[in-house]
Structures are given as structure tokens and as C-alpha cells.
Structure 1
């Protein structure tokens, strides 16, 4: 049994007049956040406000870069040359890093978003592009990605730290990959199921596949999606359930 686990959440995904998620309500119950950098969501004002919230609650801050896909919320795969992708990633990570430092904080990690995340799991070249882009900006940043995936090898190759991530509100496939959002049941909405999966992951290092098979997952961090319809309720209940088991919610190193 572990005595601590990081709970991360994708936040700062509002844009202009459009509000997405429940950032202020979620923030007290998590230990790290991944802030959108403007390419799938977010804008300078939203980024600033989200950073302020994170600093107020002592939540570690990560960049959440994506493909340039505002219309599709970053969930559409794009065929982009890796050299161009690298430039886009450095731009996004660097922008958020500067904004965090302008408020006296420190950028802690980088977690790719949506289709970029999923493509990096399948494509070692994309994973390497992400890892090397992170290193270009700051070699002390941690690459946060899918547990035991291609991303881990990419981080090793780029000589940067890697944190293994699991998902409390997403269904898995038997091979440890995420069930695509296009499939029924990909997003788990039942609160009791979500809490049970968090406890399995934190205490026994496993979750269940969509077919009900046990899938081994060694993780440093468990993600709650900020755009989940019950994100605020889930965050508070997960925190309470972990505390009841004497498991601290604490950021990964």
C-alpha cells in the first residue's frame, strides 16, 4: 500500500466568454494541475487566473500543450511534421512557464493533451518530439504521460524525468491503453466506480478493462478530467476516500 498519490487535473480550459470545467471547486482537492496553453483551450487571461488559483492552493503547475485545434478541443489527430510540432510545443510550454514565473511560481511538469497524448502513446517519433521539446525549454521539467507507455522510453532518451499517469474516469483496454472516447463507456460517470478505481490504483496498482479484466498499472499520478460533468464532486469525494485510507494527496517528485 502506498501512503501518498498525486491527483492531477486538466484545468484552465475555458476560452474567452466560454467557461469549461469547475477549476475553483476542484483546486482544493488536487496536488497538481495541467493548464491549457491556448492551442486547444485557454487564453492569456484564463491561464493567468488558473495559475493564481494553483498558487493559492499550493498546487503544482504543469503545461498542457496540444495540437492547434480550438474547434475540436484538441481531440482530433493531426498530421504535422515533427519539426513543426516541436516548435508548437516549445511555444506553448515556454509561454506558460513565463506566465508562471511572472507570478513567482515554478513550472513543474508537462502533460500533452487529447489526441497529441494518444498519438504519442502509439507513435515513438511523436513521443520523442514531445520529450525533446520539454528538454529544450527546461531539462528539470517532468514529462507526465501514460503509465508504462512509449512516452516513458522517450523521456529516458531525452534524459528527463518521467511520471507514470493513470486515469480514474476513463475506461481501459486489456493492453493498458485507454478506450477511445468514440467507444461507449469510454468516460466513466458513476461516482462510486470512479472512487473504487482510484483506491485500486493507489493501493493495489491495477484497474479494470472495459471487458472487466484486471489491468496492472504502476502509477505516480491519477488524473481527473476537469471537463467531467461531476468533476468538483468527484474531486472532493476522492480526496475524502483517500484520506480515510490514510493516503496523502501529494505531488509526484
Structure 2
């Protein structure tokens, strides 16, 4: 069983006067945080506030670029070429990095959000374009992709890819995550059990099929109503099992 893993959360997904998630409670419970960059959620003030929370908690920071779809929270499909997808990631990464420089924290990774994340899974050329663009702009910055064949292929090609699995999402028989348009509260114990299964290297799909998985980081979604409780339960289970949590870069260095 894996005994070192990153626990990440999507955060900074409020917009203006509308609040989504409990970032103040959630961020101190994880080791890496993915901050929305303004296209699917977030805005300059929210980015600044979330970066400050991450700095105070000593949590590693990443950009969470999405599609330009505030109404659909970046979870509705759009047709982007590989070049357009890469440029979308770079644009939002740059926006977050500018504010992060002001706050005084580095941006260590890029994790596409929602439908953009799905594009990297379904189209290898999109994944290649995104990781190549990030590696060219910031060579020490990791890219997060769903654990599986695409992430492994990109890693084998020499790019610093962090393989991700999800504690709070279901999987289909092909190993693809099943996205909920509007996330509901989930059993923290059930999510913790799935996180432990990931550490053991296997998941069970919605239809009962056993799936092999090898992940460096496990995600909890910040827009789930009880995300902080889920993260706290997962951390407790990890501590009971002697599992250490560390930022993505630390886990990746051990993998190398």
C-alpha cells in the first residue's frame, strides 16, 4: 500500500458576492490546493484571498484553469483545439501567478478543471499541448492529469505529470470519473474508504468492476457541501494507517 500521498482540493471558486465552498476550513486540511482562475469561477479578489489562505496554512498552490463558462461552472462541453486548450491554460496560469507573486507564494502546478480536464482525458493531443505549453512557460511546474494511460504516457515522454484519483467521485467501467453537475453531500466515511482503496491500488466502479489505479494525489472537491468534513475524515484514516501526506512536488520527487 502507498504510504505517501498528496491530498488536494479545488478551491477559490466563489465569485464576487457569491460564496461557494468553505475554503477557510478546507485548505488547512490538504497539502495542495487548486485555485480557480476566473473563467469557470473565481475573480481577482477571490484569487488573492485564497492564495493568502494557502500561504497561512503552508499549503502548496496550483492553478485550476477552466473553460470560459461561469454559468455552467466550466463543466459543460466546448470544442477547443489542442492549441486553444493550451493557450487557455497559459492565460489563466499567468493571471494566478501574477497575484501569487504579489502575495508571495509560488504556483507549483496546473490542474485543468471540469470539461477542460475531460478534454485532456479524451484527446491525447490536448493533453500533450497543455503539458508542453506549461513546461515551456514554467519548466518546474507540474501538470495534474487523471491517473491512467494518458498520464502515464505523458510521464514516460519526460513531462512532470502528477497522477490524480478522486475520493468523492464515482468511476465508470473504463476508469473515467463521473461528474455531478451539482455536487451533493457525500458520506465522509465512504469517501475515506475510497481514498484508502486508491492507496491500495484499486477502485470499484459504479457497476462493481475492479479498476487498477496508481495515483500520486487524491482530490476532494471544494464545492461539495461537506468537503471539509470529508477531508478531515480522510486525514484521520490516513493517520490511523500510518500514511503520510505531502505536497505534490514531494510525492513526485519520491516517485522519481
TM over 0.5: same fold? yes
1:213 to 187, 209, 212: 209
Kept after mapping to 2: 8 A contact 1:134/1:141: yes
**Whole-angstrom distance in 2 between the partners of 1:180 and 1:108:** 26
**Whole-angstrom distance in 1 between the partners of 2:84 and 2:196:** 40
> How big is each residue's C-alpha offset from its partner over 1:5-45, in whole Å with a ceiling of 9 and x where there is no partner?
11000000000011011111011110001000000000000
SS at match of 2:109: strand
Residue of structure 2 in register with 1:61 after alignment: 61
1:71-150 alignment, distance < 5 Å: 71-150=71-150
> How far off its partner does 1:180 sit?
4.3
Change (3 A) 1:137 1:173: same
1:189 to 183, 186, 191: 186
Query: Are positions 1:16 and 2:12 aligned together?
Result: no
> How far off its partner does 1:90 sit?
1.2
1:217-236 alignment, distance < 5 Å: 217-236=213-232
> How far off its partner does 1:209 sit?
0.3
Q: Aligned-residue CA RMSD in angstroms?
A: 1.9
Kept after mapping to 2: 8 A contact 1:224/1:231: yes
Which stretch has the larger CA shift, 243-252 or 188-197?
Answer: 188-197
Query: Are positions 1:199 and 2:208 aligned together?
Result: no
> How far off its partner does 1:228 sit?
0.9
TM-score, normalising length from structure 1? 0.92
> How far off its partner does 1:188 sit?
7.8
SS at match of 1:78: coil
> How big is each residue's C-alpha offset from its partner over 1:71-117, in whole Å with a ceiling of 9 and x where there is no partner?
11000111133333332221101111122122221111110000010
Count of matched residue pairs? 249
Gaps of 5+ in 2: 250-256
Residue of structure 2 in register with 1:178 after alignment: 177
SS at match of 1:74: coil
Gaps of 5+ in 1: none
Kept after mapping to 1: 8 A contact 2:220/2:227: yes
**Whole-angstrom distance in 2 between the partners of 1:230 and 1:149:** 31
SS at match of 2:171: coil
> How big is each residue's C-alpha offset from its partner over 1:134-162, in whole Å with a ceiling of 9 and x where there is no partner?
123201100111002424434655x4301
**Whole-angstrom distance in 2 between the partners of 1:86 and 1:239:** 34
**Whole-angstrom distance in 1 between the partners of 2:146 and 2:28:** 24
Change (3 A) 1:200 1:155: closer
Residue of structure 1 in register with 2:253 after alignment: none
Query: Are positions 1:51 and 2:48 aligned together?
Result: no
Kept after mapping to 2: 8 A contact 1:124/1:154: no
